[in-house]
A and B are shown apart, each in its own frame.
Chain A
Amino acid sequence: MRHILKRREILPDDWYHFGEDAPVDGALIVPLAELRKDPERWRNWSGKLGVRLSVDASYDDLTDALARLSLVAVEFPNAGDGRGYSLGRQLRDAAGFRGELRAVGAGVRQDQVFLMSRCGFDSLELAPGEDLEAARRALHRYDVAYQPGSAATSPVVTIRMQRYFSANTS
């Protein structure tokens, strides 16, 4: 069984990719093109449904479907292609997606997962051959960050402002 990093822990993956042998009520991730080809079939899918976006997709492509989706997977084709980070942010912020946001593809490596998690990806399916335990540790590498973000790392601005206000009210 495949394992992934989910909310900073190594867990068995309860999702299937399209083309894998999914049970009829299984949680299934379907490519966007497939979803569009046969919307009827997927609307009636009895299990949980997710979509897989290529990195050049736009979040507008999903507006209608988003409510039905429990997971959105964004493909990172290689470590240098950073479009997925912005797409993740847009899905979380502009589109308001609250379900599982997953990074998939050859670009999901231990040296990138920290950035992905800060862009809203709470589920990381590492590239084949990557060391899951090392990637899990990499998520804990920094305990502060300079930007607001969606993971457990504290933004320095927040800490400084808390101090500022406690210093000025006491």
Chain B
Amino acid sequence: MYQYDELDQSFIEQRVAEFRDQTRRHLAGELSEEEFRPLRLRNGLYLQRHAPMLRIAIPYGLLSSRQLTKLADITRHYDRGYGHFTTRQNLQLNWPQLADVPDILADLATVQMHAIQTSGNCIRNVTADHLAGINPEEVDDPRPYCEIIRQWATLHPEFTYLPRKFKIAVTGVKEDRAASQVHDIGLHLQRAANGELGFTVLVGGGLGRAPMIGHVIREFLPVPELLAYLEAILRVYNRHGRRDNIHKARIKVLVKSLGPARFREQVEDEWRAGRDHAPRLLPQQIERVRGCFRPQPYESLVDIDALAGRESAFLAWHRYNTRAHRVPGYRAVFVSLKAHGEVPGDMTAHQMESLATLAERVSFGLIRVTHAQNLLLADVRQSDLYEVWRKLAELGLAMPNIGTLTDMIACPGLDFCSLANAGTLGLARQIQTRFDDLDYLYDLGEIEIKISGCMNGCGHHHVGHIGILGVEKRGEEWYQLTLGGSANGFTALGEVIGPSLPRDEVAGAIERIVETYRAERLESERFIDTLRRVGLKPFRERAYATHPEAA
């Protein structure tokens, strides 16, 4: 993974000193809350329903054992002994004290971590495919480019006060696990016919209100032009994006109002005009960063049969929670943060520490965070799988449900978020309870449920096979269902299937929806494929069958 040199290190230390000074001025009454707000947001600090919330950046989801151990320490020392992994590969602390935050940031800096630009109207944490670097079909490893973008975006003097937040994702494979088509900018690594590397550039995707899929504005951008082109896009947005209405301030609204063709023209003009001054990536610069992401020192092994003579619980875990690896003798292992009855994405300090130790022993001391709020040990020897399973099971991290209906995504919702209309965590628990039978889950196969507590869509409900959105009605929590969304490879936005439902009817409606699938499916057809083939109608009818008078 990327290692800070002393320049990176002195930069983050200076950043901590700056925030310490800003916090001191705020606590001394020299900076009003209104003045302090944009400054604390750019250091990941929100004021939430019960307490401040601190969002720690995990650049493109990659953590070392040492970092995860430090995170465990921090949650113990400054919080309540647990943290929450988000869909954007970050970690949130729900209960820190405002006055402690400079110390937390100083602690993070000792392990090359920070909370810079994890919130606020600026360029956010850059995300990537969680299987980056071990993917057989990969054009190139996206992470070096993510790191280059991270550095470029960090305290970018021109783009720290944008109209609205700005998210960039990079992927190196067709099957887009980084949801790059619903980011403000999506970058797809490509290799041209002559072997040159570059990116297809998508702009204007986004979830939240008026969800939109990104438009391709450049089919092929040579790698050295990456930052120059990003600057051109950001400059057009920074100059012309709307600032009068927060709901119209994302770049997708600008792209839509100008039209993708005119937007593209403006970007290309800006790119040409700024050419002599924009940063150009030098081969040495790219090499230096790429050097940090070389393949691990794998042993030369052969694939083995890890399953022979093992109990059925291990077989199920192996089938659902591990994936093929491009190196013989290895597999990638998911660490499920979706144990039934637990909050999706939550992890205790004890689990973090133990996993860090385990990763040290069996996966080169590296842990990845996925977009679905799970973790991943990317490089496990097949001969270690049984032991890894036993250890994970002991820690409550081996729920064999990856990719199944209970591997759902949920934003923090009403329990923590001050913008929420409705609770999400209780609802997730309700659904897990209803679908607690593993054989039934396995029979249903791959189904993604995504839950957001309000229109902002942090739980990505628009791109869930089954999306659930919390809405408020007459002071009560109701839920709207969407069907048919998808974020992998073929990105599609779900459609609302009918009136919203009160909380205790949601799990029942979902059960009727998946029962419809069981009745309609052709042999080995996935839920989303049946849905695409037969259309929404039968699902809609059955979902509301017992509830004709739903308001």
Contacts from A to B (Cβ < 8 Å): 79-83, 85-87, 89-90, 92-94, 109, 111-112, 114-116, 118-119, 141-149, 156-157, 159-161, 164
Q: Which residue of B39, B154, B274, B277 is within 8 Å of A111 (Cβ)?
A: B39
What residues of A have a CB within 8 angstroms of the CB of B163 in the complex?
Answer: 82
Q: A80-B161, A81-B161 are in contact. Are A146 and B282 (CB under 8 A)?
A: no
Most chain-B Cβ atoms within 10 A of its Cβ — which of A85, A146, A164?
A: A146
Report Cα–Cα, A142/B162, bound state, in Å: 22
What residues of B have a CB within 8 angstroms of the CB of A116 in the complex?
Answer: 157
Report Cα–Cα, A144/B8, bound state, in Å: 9
Most chain-A Cβ atoms within 10 A of its Cβ — which of B7, B22, B39, B121?
A: B7
Considering only CB atoms, which chain A residue lies closest to B15 in the complex? A142
In the A-B complex, the 10 residue pairs with the closest CB atoms: A82-B161, A118-B157, A93-B277, A115-B157, A85-B158, A94-B273, A156-B7, A146-B151, A86-B238, A142-B14
Contacts from B to A (Cβ < 8 Å): 5, 7-8, 10-11, 14-15, 17-18, 22, 35, 38-39, 121, 151-152, 154-163, 235, 238-239, 243, 273-274, 276-277, 279, 282, 284-285, 288
Considering only CB atoms, which chain B residue lies closest to A147 in the complex? B156
Considering only CB atoms, which chain B residue lies closest to A164 in the complex? B284
Q: A80-B121, A141-B14 are in contact. Are A156 and B161 (CB under 8 A)?
A: no
Report Cα–Cα, A128/B129, bound state, in Å: 48
What residues of A have a CB within 8 angstroms of the CB of B35 in the complex?
Answer: 79, 109
Query: Given contacts A145-B11, A145-B157, could you give 5 more A-B pairs where the C-beta distance is less than 8 Å?
Result: A82-B158, A85-B238, A86-B158, A142-B15, A144-B11
- A147 near B7 with CB under 8 A, answer no
Q: Which residue of B22, B121, B160, B284 is within 8 Å of A115 (Cβ)?
A: B160
- B157 near A119 with CB under 8 A, answer yes
Q: Separation in Å of the B237 CB from the closest CB of chain A?
A: 9
- A146 near B154 with CB under 8 A, answer yes
Q: Separation in Å of the B7 CB from the closest CB of chain A?
A: 5
- A85 near B157 with CB under 8 A, answer yes
What residues of A have a CB within 8 angstroms of the CB of B161 in the complex?
Answer: 79-82, 85, 112, 115
Q: Which residue of B14, B154, B279 is within 8 Å of A157 (Cβ)?
A: B279
Report Cα–Cα, A144/B152, bound state, in Å: 12
Q: A81-B161, A157-B279 are in contact. Are A147 and B152 (CB under 8 A)?
A: yes
Q: A156-B7, A157-B279 are in contact. Are A146 and B156 (CB under 8 A)?
A: yes
- A87 near B7 with CB under 8 A, answer no
Q: Separation in Å of the B42 CB from the closest CB of chain A?
A: 10
Q: Separation in Å of the A72 CB from the closest CB of chain B?
A: 16
- B284 near A144 with CB under 8 A, answer no
Most chain-A Cβ atoms within 10 A of its Cβ — which of B121, B154, B158, B163?
A: B158
- A79 near B157 with CB under 8 A, answer no
- A111 near B155 with CB under 8 A, answer no
Report Cα–Cα, A81/B273, bound state, in Å: 23
What residues of A have a CB within 8 angstroms of the CB of B274 in the complex?
Answer: 89, 93-94
Q: A79-B161, A86-B239 are in contact. Are A147 and B14 (CB under 8 A)?
A: no
Report Cα–Cα, A61/B161, bound state, in Å: 24
Report Cα–Cα, A96/B105, bound state, in Å: 40
What residues of A have a CB within 8 angstroms of the CB of B158 in the complex?
Answer: 82, 85-86, 89, 115, 119
Most chain-B Cβ atoms within 10 A of its Cβ — which of A94, A118, A160?
A: A94
What residues of B have a CB within 8 angstroms of the CB of A160 in the complex?
Answer: 5, 7, 285, 288
Considering only CB atoms, which chain A residue lies closest to B37 in the complex? A80
Report Cα–Cα, A143/B11, bound state, in Å: 8
Q: Separation in Å of the B205 CB from the closest CB of chain A?
A: 22
List, sorted by A's number, 5 A–B pairs whose CB atoms are closer than 8 Å.
A80-B161, A83-B239, A94-B274, A157-B285, A160-B7
What residues of B have a CB within 8 angstroms of the CB of A94 in the complex?
Answer: 273-274
What residues of B have a CB within 8 angstroms of the CB of A148 in the complex?
Answer: 277, 279
Q: Separation in Å of the B43 CB from the closest CB of chain A?
A: 12
Q: Which residue of A79, A83, A142, A156 is within 8 Å of B238 (Cβ)?
A: A83
Q: Which residue of A85, A119, A147 is within 8 Å of B279 (Cβ)?
A: A147
- A146 near B235 with CB under 8 A, answer no
Q: Separation in Å of the A107 CB from the closest CB of chain B?
A: 9
What residues of A have a CB within 8 angstroms of the CB of B238 in the complex?
Answer: 82-83, 85-86
Considering only CB atoms, which chain B residue lies closest to A138 in the complex? B18
What residues of B have a CB within 8 angstroms of the CB of A92 in the complex?
Answer: 277
- A141 near B18 with CB under 8 A, answer yes
Q: Separation in Å of the B65 CB from the closest CB of chain A?
A: 27
Considering only CB atoms, which chain A residue lies closest to B282 in the complex? A161
Report Cα–Cα, A81/B160, bound state, in Å: 10
Q: Separation in Å of the A164 CB from the closest CB of chain B?
A: 5
What residues of B have a CB within 8 angstroms of the CB of A157 in the complex?
Answer: 279, 282, 285
Q: Which residue of B7, B156, B277, B279 is within 8 Å of A144 (Cβ)?
A: B7
What residues of A have a CB within 8 angstroms of the CB of B10 in the complex?
Answer: 143-144
Report Cα–Cα, A37/B320, bound state, in Å: 73
Q: Which residue of A80, A82, A143, A156 is within 8 Å of B8 (Cβ)?
A: A156
What residues of B have a CB within 8 angstroms of the CB of A85 in the complex?
Answer: 157-161, 238
What residues of A have a CB within 8 angstroms of the CB of B285 in the complex?
Answer: 157, 160-161
Q: Which residue of B11, B239, B284 is within 8 Å of A146 (Cβ)?
A: B11
- B152 near A146 with CB under 8 A, answer yes
What residues of A have a CB within 8 angstroms of the CB of B276 in the complex?
Answer: 93
Report Cα–Cα, A144/B467, bound state, in Å: 45
Q: A82-B238, A94-B273, A144-B10 are in contact. Are A156 and B151 (CB under 8 A)?
A: yes
What residues of A have a CB within 8 angstroms of the CB of B284 in the complex?
Answer: 161, 164
Q: Separation in Å of the A20 CB from the closest CB of chain B?
A: 28
Considering only CB atoms, which chain B residue lies closest to A92 in the complex? B277
Most chain-A Cβ atoms within 10 A of its Cβ — which of B5, B17, B277?
A: B277
Q: Separation in Å of the A103 CB from the closest CB of chain B?
A: 12
What residues of B have a CB within 8 angstroms of the CB of A146 in the complex?
Answer: 11, 151-152, 154-156
- A159 near B7 with CB under 8 A, answer yes
Q: Separation in Å of the B184 CB from the closest CB of chain A?
A: 15
Considering only CB atoms, which chain A residue lies closest to B234 in the complex? A86
Considering only CB atoms, which chain A residue lies closest to B240 in the complex? A83
Report Cα–Cα, A116/B157, bound state, in Å: 7
What residues of B have a CB within 8 angstroms of the CB of A147 in the complex?
Answer: 152, 156-157, 279
